[in-house]
């Protein structure tokens, strides 16, 4: 339960910014860290060492974590392939499927993605296009959702794979993955789901989603950075993946490399904790998110809520502020940690590709903030953020009118 969760540092005289960027990354839960530590300096064996106790202990820890991840997703543990994170999982899914099809001489090389996908899907898709694959990029609606009719009309006899995210990392919008899978499977097309932002925050039953491949990452659900996983469905029509690189044949020959046992242990612990407190945490974060939106919208005009008003992640709030220079707004907010979009593209001066795909103007896209609430966010921090953002936006607007 969440009663014993450690509290975050409060804003104020101590000068510690309030952390509201939990879509970029989450703090490692101290309970997760405690389970990881022995595997750095006591149980430090290589899980591939099969001839002694150190290796056996490491391998057992890895399989325990695989089971915990499988339980959270409601899948068999042997369908979980460990990777270095969501980016690698997405690359393995897209490149693995398309390159395998081409290598085997199977007809068709058509890939479908949406314009609001994470860069770790869009960029591999564009690389595959440069290498000869056919690519269709679907538009999304004004709320950031994929239109099911547009998806079905985009499918062709040579379509091999559709890739769609469960929950958008910028605006929090949740896609109807189950319906998308039904459409894809009716056309004998595989569906990959980037569920990095959704797993651990909303219920994710892969059997109900019916996705063939699912990506996830530990550091988005209070686990460590540097480890993720790709669910690869077993049973039914075989899923053939071409590995991204060669090596010792680890992870069913799909992902060679020495397994990072401490990180995997933390991944498993984070999934176990998520399953234990999922409903209570979602309800609490939804309440805090609504408190934040109400406080901002009642004290400022010219606000636009980006994303779906209901079908969105509990801890996500993405807001555009009219009449404010976006760069000046971000520069002024030194006492809270928020972002203007995906952390993976924060160095890109261009407006959010997600907001632009939704039809948001360039000026509003640049003047948008993504608030990511998390397990350690408190009501006092939300109240501070409301006052602080209102004061800064009002000041910036006043200075422009002088």
Find the CATH number of the domain harbouring 134: 3.40.640.10
User: Among candidates 145, 202, 134, which has minimal Cα distance to 354?
Assistant: 145
Q: Where are the beta strands (DSSP E) in 7-158?
A: 18-19, 80-83, 110-114, 134-138
Quick one: 145 and 202 in the same domain? Answer: yes
* 3-state SS string for 226-272: CCEEEEECCCCCCCCCCCCCCCCCHHHHCCCCCCCHHHHHHHHHHHH
CA distances from 91 to 34, 244, 316, 343 (A): 31, 8, 26, 18
- 161: enclosing H helix or E strand: strand 159-165
Count of domains forming the chain: 2
Residue 106 has pLDDT above 90, yes or no: no
Residue 341 has pLDDT above 90, yes or no: no
Cα–Cα distance for residue pair 144/250, rounded to 1 Å: 38
User: Among candidates 35, 31, 85, which has minimal Cα distance to 65?
Assistant: 35
Cα–Cα distance for residue pair 299/208, rounded to 1 Å: 41
Q: How many CB atoms lie within 10 A of CB 31?
A: 16
Quick one: 311 and 259 in the same domain? Answer: no
Tokens of 45: 């064996």
Residue 344 located in a structural domain: yes
Residue 148 located in a structural domain: yes
Cα–Cα distance for residue pair 257/88, rounded to 1 Å: 13
Beta strand 303-306 pairing with 228-232: unpaired
Residue 6 has pLDDT above 50, yes or no: no
Candidate from 97-106, 200-209, 264-273 with smallest mean pLDDT: 97-106
Cα–Cα distance for residue pair 62/258, rounded to 1 Å: 12
Boundary-marking domain end, from 224, 249, 271: 271
Quick one: 258 and 352 in the same domain? Answer: no
Largest CA distance in the chain: 76
Residue 5 has pLDDT above 50, yes or no: no
Residue 8 located in a structural domain: no
Cα–Cα distance for residue pair 328/363, rounded to 1 Å: 13
Whole-prediction pTM value? 0.93
DSSP string covering 319-379: EEETTS-HHHHHHH-TTEE-BSS-GGGTT--SPPHHHHHTT--HHHHHTEEEEE--TT--H
Quick one: 88 and 141 in the same domain? Answer: yes
Which residue in 133, 184, 271, 344 is the catalytic one? 344
Quick one: 309 and 264 in the same domain? Answer: no
Q: Tell me the angle at which helices 261-299 and 379-401 cross, rounded to the nearest 10 degrees.
A: 50
Task: Give the DSSP letter of residue 202.
Answer: B
**What is the mean pLDDT of the segment spanning 163-181?**
98
Residue 327 located in a structural domain: yes
Quick one: 222 and 331 in the same domain? Answer: no
pLDDT at residue 237 in the model:
82
Quick one: 283 and 349 in the same domain? Answer: yes
Instruction: Encode pLDDT of 225-255 as tens digits.
Output: 999 999 999 988 889 999 998 888 888 889 9
3 state SS of 119: helix
Boundary-marking domain end, from 271, 301, 329: 271
pLDDT at residue 13 in the model:
38
The rounded percent of the chain whose pLDDT value lies above 70 is 93
Residue 363 located in a structural domain: yes
Q: How many CB atoms lie within 10 A of CB 354?
A: 29
Q: Give the pLDDT band (50/70/90) at residue 1.
A: very low
344 is catalytic: yes
Quick one: 209 and 284 in the same domain? Answer: no
Q: Is the dihedral of CA 154, 158, 161, 163 positive or negative?
A: negative
Quick one: 238 and 304 in the same domain? Answer: no
The CATH number covering residue 297 comes to 3.90.1150.10
Boundary-marking domain end, from 244, 271, 298: 271
Radius of gyration, CA atoms only, the chain: 22
Say if CB 162 and CB 112 are below 8 A apart: yes
Full residue range of the structural domain in which residue 167 is found: 30-271
Quick one: 62 and 116 in the same domain? Answer: yes
Residue 171 has pLDDT above 90, yes or no: yes
Quick one: 109 and 164 in the same domain? Answer: yes
Quick one: 219 and 324 in the same domain? Answer: no
pLDDT at residue 351 in the model:
80
Residue 126 has pLDDT above 80, yes or no: yes
Phi-psi region of 144 (alpha: psi -120 to 50; beta: other; left: phi over 0): left
Residue 5 located in a structural domain: no
Tokens of 259: 């397994």
- 47: enclosing H helix or E strand: none
Residue 55 has pLDDT above 70, yes or no: yes
């Amino acid at each position: 339960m969440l009663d014993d969760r450690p509290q975050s540092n409060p804003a104020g005289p101590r000068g510690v910014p309030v952390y509201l960027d939990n879509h970029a990354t989450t703090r490692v839960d101290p309970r997760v860290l405690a389970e990881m530590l022995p595997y750095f300096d006591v149980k430090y064996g290589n899980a591939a060492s099969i001839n002694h106790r150190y290796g056996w202990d490491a391998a057992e820890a890895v399989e325990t974590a695989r089971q915990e991840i499988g339980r959270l997703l409601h899948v068999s543990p042997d369908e979980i392939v460990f990777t270095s994170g969501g980016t690698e999982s997405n690359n393995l899914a897209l490149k693995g499927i398309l390159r395998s099809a081409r290598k085997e001489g199977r007809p068709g090389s058509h890939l479908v993605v949406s314009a609001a996908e994470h860069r770790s899907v869009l960029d591999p898709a564009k690389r595959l296009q440069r290498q000869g694959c056919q690519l269709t990029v679907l538009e999304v609606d004004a709320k950031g959702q994929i239109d099911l009719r547009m998806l079905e009309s985009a499918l062709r006899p040579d379509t091999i794979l559709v890739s769609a995210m469960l929950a958008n990392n910028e605006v929090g919008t949740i896609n109807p993955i189950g319906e998308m899978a039904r459409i894809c499977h009716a056309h004998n097309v595989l569906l990959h789901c980037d569920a990095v932002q959704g797993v651990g925050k909303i219920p994710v039953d892969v059997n109900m989603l019916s996705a063939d491949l699912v990506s996830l990452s530990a550091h988005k659900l209070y686990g460590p950075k540097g480890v993720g996983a790709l669910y690869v469905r077993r049973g039914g029509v075989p899923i053939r993946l071409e590995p991204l690189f060669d090596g010792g044949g680890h992870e069913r020959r799909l992902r060679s490399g020495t397994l990072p046992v401490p990180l995997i242990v933390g991944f498993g612990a984070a999934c176990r904790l998520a399953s234990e407190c999922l409903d209570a945490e979602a309800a609490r974060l939804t309440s805090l998110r609504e408190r934040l939106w109400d406080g901002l919208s009642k004290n400022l005009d010219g606000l636009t809520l980006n994303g779906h008003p209901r079908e969105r992640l509990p801890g996500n709030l993405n807001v555009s502020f009219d009449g404010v220079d976006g760069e000046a707004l971000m520069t002024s907010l030194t006492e809270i940690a928020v972002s203007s979009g995906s952390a993976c593209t924060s160095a890109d001066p261009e407006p959010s590709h997600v907001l632009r795909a939704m039809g948001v103007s360039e000026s509003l896209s640049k003047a948008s903030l993504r608030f990511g609430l998390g397990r350690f966010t408190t009501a006092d921090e939300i109240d501070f953020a409301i006052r602080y953002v209102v004061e800064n936006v009002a000041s910036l607007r006043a200075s422009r009118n002088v």
